[in-house]
Amino acid sequence: MSKERTEISSLGEFGLIDHLTKNIELQNASSVLGVGDDAAVIDHFGKQTVITTDLLLEGVHFDLVYTPLKHLGYKSVIVNLSDVYAMNAIPTQVIMSIGISNRFSVEAIDEFYEGVYAACNKYGVDLVGGDTTSSQKGLVISVTAIGEVTPDTYVKRSTAKKGDLLCVSGDLGAAYVGLLFLEREKKIYMESPGVQPDLEGESYVIGRLLKPEARKDIVEFFAKEEIQPTAMIDISDGLSSEILHICKESALGCVLYEEKIPIAEEMKKAAFKFEIDPTACALSGGEDYELLFTIAQSDYEKLVLNEQISVVGYMTEPDQGAHIITKGGGKHAITAQGWNHLKQNNS
């Protein structure tokens, strides 16, 4: 039975906004005034405010052939929350704007917003505004996230110190392998629409791509254990690119140990199906949304308490450069092979 389809034009822009925002309940005291006025009002009561924004374009950042709209709404929020956590801050509000063409029904946009609200509820964040407009083709998503941090405890990329330990949360490379599976199945589907997708046993890597999570738990762990990272960045473009960002901004070199890079067993098995090296996926794949950070060696004992954190290397003098020590003992310069949407040669 086909679902009923409501044309967006039947609601109009303001009707659509009312429809999408009618059930909002604010969760944060800092959200003084939410949706419904010319602007939201936020008061962080003596905390410092962090702000970040992301633009997601259909055909560049996501493919609706294999991305469910609900997952896309969820992920659109998560990628921004991840940037706030990477500053050692707690996200409190998001603003969501979308450009939609008439190929989308009200039901389709409802599905997208279901994902948006699911992410907001899970992370205790308020949706306080946004805009909708028509787009000539494709879906355009713009999200701004706002967070709060105790004065001067935010963490930059440029403040790592020589001798600091280089650490990552979670495991790496799975989202990239998930993308390979989905792209493979899309190609088969385009050539033979009758063929059912074969994604048996790959739910972990595909989930990491379609429904990532932000590392709220790691930032809460820092606060609880009184750990102040010396530098931090979220891993959206692959481990090697992000390490080089910290090295460049902090004017340091580093040593990374291949054997220390956290890789999930499911990702390893999946990578072997494509005959690619799991380490290469971790170094160059994107969209893991884990945290890469440096800490003083004196905080090492506290870190051991957290199984979700791996120490993968340490920071060195700048003239030593950024190197990876392979499992076989070889030493190679780390190169930025990460995902870059502005390069034309990404396959």
- pLDDT 10s digit of each residue in the chain, 347 long? 567 888 878 877 667 778 877 777 888 888 787 766 666 687 888 898 999 999 999 999 999 999 999 999 999 999 999 999 999 999 999 999 999 998 999 999 999 999 999 999 999 999 999 999 999 889 999 999 999 999 889 999 999 999 999 999 999 999 999 999 999 989 998 898 877 777 777 899 999 999 999 999 999 999 999 999 999 999 999 999 999 999 999 999 999 999 999 999 999 999 999 999 999 999 999 999 999 999 999 999 999 989 999 999 999 999 999 999 999 999 999 998 644 444 444 43
Q: Cα dist. 129→49, 126, 226 in Å?
A: 17, 9, 34
Under a CB-based contact definition with an 8 Å cutoff, are residues 22 and 34 in contact? no
Instruction: For residues 11 and 272, give the distance between their C-alpha atoms in angstroms, rounded to a whole number.
Output: 50
The reported pLDDT for the residue numbered 347 is 37
The reported pLDDT for the residue numbered 205 is 96
Q: Cα dist. 11→16, 95, 129, 296 in Å?
A: 6, 21, 19, 56
DSSP state of 2: P
Domain ranges of the chain: 9-149, 165-333
What is the phi/psi pair of residue 97, to 5°? -120, 140
DSSP per-residue letters across 137-199: SS-EEEEEEEEEESTT----SS---TTPEEEEES--SHHHHHHHHHHHHHHHHHH-TTSPP--
Class (C level, CATH) for 9-149: alpha beta
CATH 3.40.50.150 is held by the domain 165-333:
no
Tell me which residue has tokens 């990374």: 256
Beta bridge partners of 215: none
Q: Which run of H or E residues covers position 107?
A: helix 106-123
Structure tokens at 241: 């690119």
239 Rama sector, left if φ>0, alpha if ψ -120 to 50, beta otherwise: alpha
Same fold, 9-149 and 165-333: no
Under a CB-based contact definition with an 8 Å cutoff, are residues 93 and 126 in contact? yes
88 Rama sector, left if φ>0, alpha if ψ -120 to 50, beta otherwise: left
